[in-house]
Structure 1
Amino acid sequence: MTTVISILGGSLYRSIRRLPHAGDGNAVILCVPYRATAEKTGEDQTVSLDHDLRYATKAEWNAGVEQYEAQRRCTSQVSSPSNGVVAEITARSSAAQKIQLFRSLFRGRDDVYAYGFLSKKTGKVGYAPVAWNEWMTLPNGKRVPTPSDQRRCKPLTDQVLLDHFTKRDSQFHNVVGLYPLSKDSKVWFLAIDFDDDGWKEEIIVTKRVCENHGLHPIMERSRSGDGGHLWMFFSEEIEAAQARKMGTALLSEAAQKTHIRFRSYDRMFPNQDLLPSGGFGNLIALPLQRLARDAGNSVFVDEQFNPYADQWAFLDSVQRITAQQVNAIATLASANTGPLGNLAKFDSPIPHAVGQKKETDKQAPTTGNGSLRTGSRTPPSNADVPETITIIERSMLEISKTNLTPLAQNAVRRLAAFANPDFYRAQAMRQPVYNKPRIIYCGEETVDSILLPRGCRESVAALLTDAGCTVTFDDERNQGKRIRVKFIGSLRAPQSEAAKTMLEYDDGILVAPTGFGETVIAADLIAKRKTNTLIIIRSSSLMEQWRDRLEQFLTVKAKLPPLLTPTGRIIRRQHRYSHELCRNTPQGYCRLRTFPDYLG
């Protein structure tokens, strides 16, 4: 016999019988609280207490049935779609049952956890491990934080989680941060954080990519409300490296359907393949925190970003991912282009000078320089690009997004992205990877355009041309000012060969050992180009060396304007090369800037 379920007053009820109303003859539904456990085990659900009985009008009952069916359809995305099993744990379940369910999903380190705090300086929420001895007193009476190797951490108890769910603390001391990475570098779940503009589209697309692979992740709106977490729970402990490889592959696939920022690869929990030496790995703030829930945040939502009516019933219906599913996706990614997708890679040693030769017309070249391997997991086709496209050359290459599909845009962006060796070096040595991006992206973004470094000129032209697009370039680069300058030195044979090769290209990199004479070659190039020049130096310690070499090997055949201080006074010692005192003035033919100063 089919059991009909209805939601009345926020609780589940099943009907016993229909009774005619004595007044108008309309049916009245006699119902009792529904117990899913009893139905599964075949136990008798006969009512033993009169106060368990409830009467509902036909209209109330039918409205409750519709509400229940709507909620069941929402939860069916993460539960078995055909068994129709109702969650055993609901909002009316005991605190112990809820905590047991929560701990079965959000499993991490039990011997340590972090608590939140509100920074007085920044006003932002931070987290710190909870310890019995968080502070220690020095002999001079000053209290300082206890060193990590002497800290005795508190375990994560049920009471701590209960406070997380129920207490309202404006200082966030009851907000729990969980360390997902176990001591043997395994995890029970994987979470991906989306917090950029457009995070809703990113998380929805990634979720649907997961569903295409038979996975059923769930979405949580973050505590701030300005982002979301995509949670995937495992049926058993999984190697963190394998779980992260799966997550990375899913992100790479989603990036072909929408704009997934590269920093999303750094927003996975855990953020390490291996537990860092002497640390706990990164933490994630647990959901369902009471103060955030009051504002409609830190809750699980559907694809319209509406919170589920019963958060606990929804969690009880979550479908876990098996180790076989994780391995299958990770293996499939490795067999193709790797979990990160195709990134820029140098397959051959860089010669003395690489780049593109000067172009005498507007037509783009159709072949690359052979040293840069580029593309995306699925290369764009004629349907992904317009018939013609004009790329504007300024300080960067400006590529319009108009008529470029997300797949083509992703392929273009990846021409200027490469794996960060520092990240993998630190991870291999079990060092912290905080503030070390997994992917370095050298491009920029506007609403209408993708901006790539000018060194990607040939690669982007080849990519779009191979897709069937006619590419032209519009040169709007700053041509600089012509100067009358002469090189008064002489170059050795290797220096002369390098300078001659560099002059054949508009862009390029000279790679040479220490003492090769890069400053002398630069002086020769300035004299041959006869254009005012900006020289960016790694550190201020090299400033005088460059200035001395330029004064030694260059002579200017023109009267230079006097150098002025920021207040307009003439500097007595006149240099033809502007330095830090006049870096913001247009005087001089060569401007020396340190790299940090240039960025600032």
Structure 2
Amino acid sequence: MQLEQLYKQLAMFEKQKSDIENNIIAIKKEIERLSPFSKSDKIKLFRKLFIGNELVYAKHWISKDGLKKGYSPVSKTFKGTDYIPVNDHVIQQHLEGKVRMGTYAVKNQTLCSFLAIDLDKSSFVADARAIHTVCNAMDINAYFELSKSGNGIHIWFFFLEDVRARDARILGDLIITKAMDISDGIDMKSYDRLFPNQDYVAPDALGNLIALPLHFGSRSEGKTVFIDIDTMQPYENQWSILQNVLKISSQKLHSLIIDYARLTESTSLMPWEIKQEKLVLPKAVQMVLHNAIYIEKSVLSITLLNLLKRMASFYNPEFFMRQRQRLSTFNTPRVVSTYDLNERYIILPRGLYGKLKSFFKKHKVQMHIEDKRLNMKIPAQEFFLDLRSEQIKAKNEILKNDYSLLIAPPGFGKTAVASAVISEHGVATLILVHKTVLLEQWSKRLSEYFKIDIKSIGILGKGKKKLNGNLDVATLQSLKNRPELIENYSQIIIDEAHHMPAVSFEIPLKRFKGKYVLGLSATPKRKDGMEAIMYLQCGDIVHESVRESTVKHTLKTVTTQYDTFMDHFSMMLGEITEDDMRNRQIVDEIVKLSERKILVLSERIEHLNILWHMLEARGIDAVLLYGGLKTKEKRLQFEKTEDASIILSTSSYIGEGIDIGHLDTIIFTMPISYPERIIQYLGRIGRQGQQCLAIDFIDISVPMLKSSFNKRMRGYKKMGYVLAPVQTLFETV
């Protein structure tokens, strides 16, 4: 009986399904009958407005288990390269609800025919209306499509002719920037919600896609349709609206973006660095200082709130590097934002404190500050060292600021200055280093400067877990697993602070809630351009020392015969490592200079081992020093460096914080292009007033490597090195 009942229910459901399908067909026919547009008219209009790259289209898919879904380009063999071009049949299927289409915005690698902005936050209605206000002021027309979910909006702009994707995106930047001063729901991430989302698409790439509107299944639910943004109601006749779309001409586009494009041509400028609407400022702001800066939002105007967001945001250098190299920028944000928001506060990085004080003072806005930072006093450590005049100047500048950066070359005595600051502040201090070898080095210096037992200094890292809570040294890596430890200190000192932008280092530092932060570095610049993170966490540079020497150092260049067909840098380094003729040249130079104290740098441990064996075969003793050694072996080798004549080391190991002051010669065996690294390595040799020698091996037959030498020269010149003719080298050294 139960089975018979189930069969009856199934038959009833099948009849209901058939009735629904017949109703759908009838509705479609009625719509077609009432519409003045034929099927072919609609397809033609849809294709003209919404199709970007005609050579390919995407189709929506859902996995069998329903857990995965997305859009993929349609190809003949599903290999991803033999794409099927857009055709009238698939557009008709989309409009009838049989498939869901997506289109790739960029055509012919650099052009587009539309711009779209995707809004999907809970404030999407207010945000869309803000953009509508901006567009009215700019005298351009925007068309608002309610998304498939009904919880977002696509805003479409159509161009009279194909325009450069770059120009379309600049228009999008401009619209978003102006709308931010109307709606606080529009944030920095909106700059990454543009279609197209790149200026250029490589020949074998497609760029980002946008789901297309007017899918019948969604349309029948009042979604993926164009709406009146004021009433949020769909237009009664969608096709009439689309037929009468007012497009933006190239002349209009260029007139809108010409000044803005000039301002944002350089990636050092932010996309919002154009004339802002007049700031509306309160008489006073409420501010809490803790692990960050908390400012109450209740009295902040939208314009001021957005200004604060901008202060905590910066261009992502990786985005522009990838764009210059014509690589995909997918999942690479154009703007990095470091602020946070909750219902009560905008939360800004501590490093902005100085800028905020200056800004509010300039505009006569009172700051009511509640200081909740930890300021735990400890018995003061007496500092037993006479600082030089410039070191005293640096110390005094640091003491004027709670958050600060000291930039000074190797040999300046940053450790001594930091120790003097520890003595002056008299609070629980944690010193953070990024290499285990620096744990002992800092401990040794602190014990000397304060005349205390080295065992009384706490250490975390290198297998040691003895912290005393008053004066401790720890590796940044050791905090990754125990980030809560940083909350117990009133002051942190970060050695080689330019390493801080690494996410693994930045996260524990955000938990620090003490009063003082001091960053130390030989250079404020990073190769990836992310040094802004360092400033946002540590504060501004309060003292920068430039190495000025009356002694002229000498640079000797040695040309090699190395040549290659490789175009990948790491592969070249592999070949250079095993190039016997080139290695013999290096060893010959070392032997010639065996009376000097030499540091030999390479990028590869394998290369160092080859050179060490070649030197050993010629009866030359050398010390190997690199990060991969076991702790005991590393300590033994490091002890040997104190009176060693020749040290072979990886540049990454020796480059930062390692003190071997008796060396007077440095040999670069591998190409380095970044001048700031050269400055760091040159700072590892020479005592004050000592004349030094650098030897650089140039692979002139390889354009990429020859070019890297030109970049290195900037570092040599900055450190006072003069290129000497080979024949006069030993007369001048």
Normalised-by-shorter TM-score class: 0.5 to 0.7
What is the aligned partner in structure 1 of residue 224 from structure 2?
A: 298
Pairing 1:333–2:260 present: yes
Superposed displacement of residue 582, structure 1: 5.3
Contact 2:115 2:195 in 1 (8 A): yes
**Counterpart selection for 1:599 from 503, 507, 516:** 507
Tell me the distance in 2 between the aligned counterparts of 1:497 and 1:119: 66
Contact 1:249 1:339 in 2 (8 A): no
What is the aligned partner in structure 2 of residue 250 from structure 1?
A: 175
Pairing 1:272–2:198 present: yes
Cα distance, 1:482–1:203 mapped onto 2, change above 3 Å: farther
Give SS of 2:436's match: helix
Contact 1:423 1:438 in 2 (8 A): yes
**Counterpart selection for 1:552 from 444, 450, 459:** 444
What is the aligned partner in structure 1 of residue 42 from structure 2?
A: 98
What is the TM-score when the length of structure 1 is the normalising length?
0.66
Superposed displacement of residue 466, structure 1: 4.4
Give SS of 1:508's match: strand
Indicate the structure with greater helix content: 2
Tell me the distance in 1 between the aligned counterparts of 2:507 and 2:141: 44
Superposed displacement of residue 343, structure 1: 6.3
What is the aligned partner in structure 1 of residue 77 from structure 2?
A: 133
Cα distance, 1:487–1:160 mapped onto 2, change above 3 Å: farther
Superposed displacement of residue 326, structure 1: 0.8
Pairing 1:435–2:361 present: no
Give SS of 1:234's match: strand
CA offset digits 1:508-538 (Å, max 9, x no partner): 123345676656654554444332345566x
**Counterpart selection for 2:292 from 373, 390, 396:** 396
**Counterpart selection for 1:231 from 143, 156, 166:** 156
CA RMSD of aligned residues (A): 4.1
Instruction: Report the residue type matching 2:85 in the other structure.
Output: P
Contact 1:270 1:282 in 2 (8 A): yes
Cα distance, 1:588–1:465 mapped onto 2, change above 3 Å: closer
Tell me the distance in 2 between the aligned counterparts of 1:342 and 1:410: 19
Cα distance, 1:316–1:197 mapped onto 2, change above 3 Å: same
Of 279-288 and 230-239, the range deviating more from structure 2: 279-288
Tell me the distance in 2 between the aligned counterparts of 1:546 and 1:104: 64
Q: Tell me the percent identity.
A: 28
Instruction: Report the residue type matching 1:544 in the other structure.
Output: T
After the TM superposition, which residues 164-183 of structure 1 pair with which residues of structure 2 at under 5 Å, given as runs? 164-168=94-98, 174-183=99-108
Cα distance, 1:386–1:522 mapped onto 2, change above 3 Å: same
What is the aligned partner in structure 2 of residue 153 from structure 1?
A: 83
**Counterpart selection for 1:469 from 351, 361, 365:** 365
Contact 2:219 2:225 in 1 (8 A): yes
Cα distance, 1:561–1:279 mapped onto 2, change above 3 Å: same
**Counterpart selection for 2:402 from 497, 506, 513:** 506
What is the aligned partner in structure 1 of residue 275 from structure 2?
A: 377
What is the aligned partner in structure 1 of residue 720 from structure 2?
A: none
Tell me the distance in 1 between the aligned counterparts of 2:421 and 2:504: 25
What is the aligned partner in structure 2 of residue 67 from structure 1?
A: none
Cα distance, 1:288–1:572 mapped onto 2, change above 3 Å: closer
Tell me the distance in 2 between the aligned counterparts of 1:409 and 1:549: 45
CA offset digits 1:215-240 (Å, max 9, x no partner): 11110112222211110011111111
Cα distance, 1:563–1:546 mapped onto 2, change above 3 Å: closer
Contact 2:100 2:212 in 1 (8 A): yes
Instruction: Report the residue type matching 2:224 in the other structure.
Output: S
Instruction: Report the residue type matching 1:269 in the other structure.
Output: F
Structure 2 alignment gaps of length 5 or more: 1-25, 495-499, 509-733
Aligned pair count?
Answer: 459
CA offset digits 1:190-243 (Å, max 9, x no partner): 001111231211111112211222111110112222211110011111111111
Contact 1:536 1:598 in 2 (8 A): no
Superposed displacement of residue 341, structure 1: 13
Tell me the distance in 2 between the aligned counterparts of 1:587 and 1:249: 42
Give SS of 1:301's match: strand
Contact 1:179 1:284 in 2 (8 A): yes
Superposed displacement of residue 410, structure 1: 2.0
Higher relative contact order (CA 8 A, sep 6+): 1
Pairing 1:281–2:207 present: yes
Superposed displacement of residue 153, structure 1: 1.2
Tell me the distance in 2 between the aligned counterparts of 1:301 and 1:223: 13
Of 203-212 and 116-125, the range deviating more from structure 2: 116-125
Tell me the distance in 2 between the aligned counterparts of 1:253 and 1:533: 45
Tell me the distance in 2 between the aligned counterparts of 1:340 and 1:262: 18
What is the aligned partner in structure 2 of residue 188 from structure 1?
A: 113
CA offset digits 1:373-399 (Å, max 9, x no partner): x98733645xx2222333332222222
Give SS of 2:144's match: strand
What is the aligned partner in structure 2 of residue 217 from structure 1?
A: 142
Cα distance, 1:598–1:122 mapped onto 2, change above 3 Å: farther
Superposed displacement of residue 324, structure 1: 1.6
Tell me the distance in 2 between the aligned counterparts of 1:431 and 1:276: 7
Superposed displacement of residue 401, structure 1: 2.5
Instruction: Report the residue type matching 2:445 in the other structure.
Output: F
Tell me the distance in 1 between the aligned counterparts of 2:66 and 2:330: 19
Tell me the distance in 2 between the aligned counterparts of 1:120 and 1:477: 54
Tell me the distance in 2 between the aligned counterparts of 1:471 and 1:238: 48
What is the aligned partner in structure 2 of residue 163 from structure 1?
A: 93
Contact 1:209 1:253 in 2 (8 A): yes
Cα distance, 1:475–1:121 mapped onto 2, change above 3 Å: farther
Contact 1:233 1:321 in 2 (8 A): yes
Cα distance, 1:311–1:341 mapped onto 2, change above 3 Å: farther
Give SS of 1:554's match: helix
Give SS of 2:155's match: strand
Tell me the distance in 2 between the aligned counterparts of 1:536 and 1:134: 52
Tell me the distance in 1 between the aligned counterparts of 2:395 and 2:93: 69
Contact 1:484 1:557 in 2 (8 A): no
Contact 2:59 2:74 in 1 (8 A): yes
Superposed displacement of residue 561, structure 1: 12
Give SS of 1:435's match: coil
Tell me the distance in 2 between the aligned counterparts of 1:340 and 1:219: 32
Of 519-528 and 262-271, the range deviating more from structure 2: 519-528
Cα distance, 1:517–1:223 mapped onto 2, change above 3 Å: farther
Give SS of 1:117's match: strand
Instruction: Report the residue type matching 2:59 in the other structure.
Output: Y
CA offset digits 1:124-173 (Å, max 9, x no partner): 532222222224xxxxxxxxxx6xxxx211111112222222235xxxxx
Tell me the distance in 2 between the aligned counterparts of 1:123 and 1:536: 44
